[in-house]
Structure 1
Amino acid sequence: MKLLVVEDDVRIADIVRRTLAEAGYAVDVTHTAPAGVEAFEIETYDLVVLDLMLPGLPRGGMDVCARIRELNTDIPILMLTGLDSARKRVEGLDAGADDYLVKPFHLVELLARVRALLRRAPRALAPVLRAQGVTLEPATRTATRAGRTIVLTAKEYAVLEYLMSNAGKIISSSELIDHAWDSNYEGFSNVVQSYIRYLRQKLTLPGEVEIIETRRGAGYVIAADE
C-alpha cells in the first residue's frame, strides 16, 4: 500500500517515513500544504498522514484535508498536530480527518492507527483475491496454494496483490514500482525482477505450473480465472 506523509518538520517526516517503510508501506513525503495537494492530485494513495500546521496555505493542513476530501471522500486521513486542544481536534475532524494523533506520539501508536484506518477503508474490505489456484488473503498478507500457506514479505505481498488485482492484464515493471515503492525510488532497475523471482520460488513447487508469466519487453501477468 502507498501512503502520503505531509509534514513540514523534516526530522519528524523522516522518522515517520522510515517507520512506515519498515512496516512495509511505500511512502511519499512532502513538506508544504501546496506540495501535499499536488502529490495527491498526481498519485494514488491508500492513506494520508497529514500535519495540521503546514506552510503555504491559509489554514495549512485544514486546507489540504478539505481539498483531499473534494477529490476523494473515502481515503483515510490521519491528522498530526502539536496542538492538544479539543477545539483543534474538532476542527480537524470537521475538515475531513478520520483520526487524530497529538505530538509527541509513540511510533507503535502511529502504526496501530494507520492499520486501523486501513482496515476500515473501503478498499480494505475488498474480497479475497483468487487466480490460477492461488488465494491471497489481505487481512493476513498470506497466500495459499494447494493447501499450503505461503508467508510473504511486505514487498512480496504488494507485488503479488497488484498482479492478482489486475489478473489478465500485463503489468510493467515501472507500474509495479509505482505501486509497491515510493515515488522517489532510485534503486536498482532490476528490483522488480528480483521480487518476481522470490514470489515464483515461494508460490511454485516442482511439478506445479508457474502462475506469473513474463511477457518479454512488456512486463508480467497472472492469467485471470475463466
Structure 2
Amino acid sequence: MDGTLVDTEPAWMGAEETLVVEFGGVWTPQDALQMVGLPLPDAAQILQDHGVTLPLERIGERLVAGVAAAIAQGVVWQPGAREMLLALQAEGIPCALVTMSYRELADAVVAQAPPGVFQVVVTGDEVEHGKPHPEPYLTAAARLDVDITRCVAVEDSRPGIASALASGARTLGVEHIVPVLEQPGLSRTDSLAKVSVADLGRLLTGEVIDHLDARRG
C-alpha cells in the first residue's frame, strides 16, 4: 500500500520526525529510509532507540494518528496504480491488499480506491509475523483461496519484496523511495504505468521483466 499504490511515505516520515524532534532527537533522511516497509512494532522500536521515551504501543498510536490525519486530506495515487487495479478488476482477477499499516489506515485508503477492487485486505495488526516474513502474503493467498505460486505480488520496499519472494509469489518490485536491488526471480520497474495486466501474466510463466536494468544500461 504505502509507496506502491499510494504515496504515503512522506506522511510516515513526517510523523516519525515529529516524534523524534519532540523528544529532543535528530531524525535524518537516512533514518527515515530504514523504516520503509517495516512492521509498526519494529518501527516503534527504532524510534524508541532514537530517544522517544514512550511505550512502543503508544509510539505506534502516535504514528498511526499522524498518518491517518494526512490520509484524511486525500491520498496521492502512484502513477498507474488506479489504472492497474481497474484493469485487473475488468479481467476478473481477484486482488488482495497486503500492508504492514494497521487496519485503520488500510480502510482509509481502500475507501478512496475504486469500489470493489480489493477482495481481501491483510494488515500488520492482523498477522503474527510481519514482513519480511512470508506470513502476510500466505495469509492473503489463503483468504483468496488461490495457490500462492499463481499470485503476483507488487512491492516497493525491501521487507515487502523479501516477504513476497519467500512466500513463493511471483514478485514485481516498483522502485519508489528506496532502490530495488536486482536479485534472482525479481522483476523490477520504476512505475506501474509501464506495466500491463499482460505483463503480470508473463511473470506467472517464469519470465522476469526488468525496466530498471534497461534504464540503467
Greater per-residue helix proportion: 2
Regarding TM over 0.5, the answer is no
Q: TM-score scaled to structure 1, two decimals?
A: 0.31
Greater per-residue strand proportion: 1
Larger radius of gyration: 1
Q: TM-score scaled to structure 2, two decimals?
A: 0.32
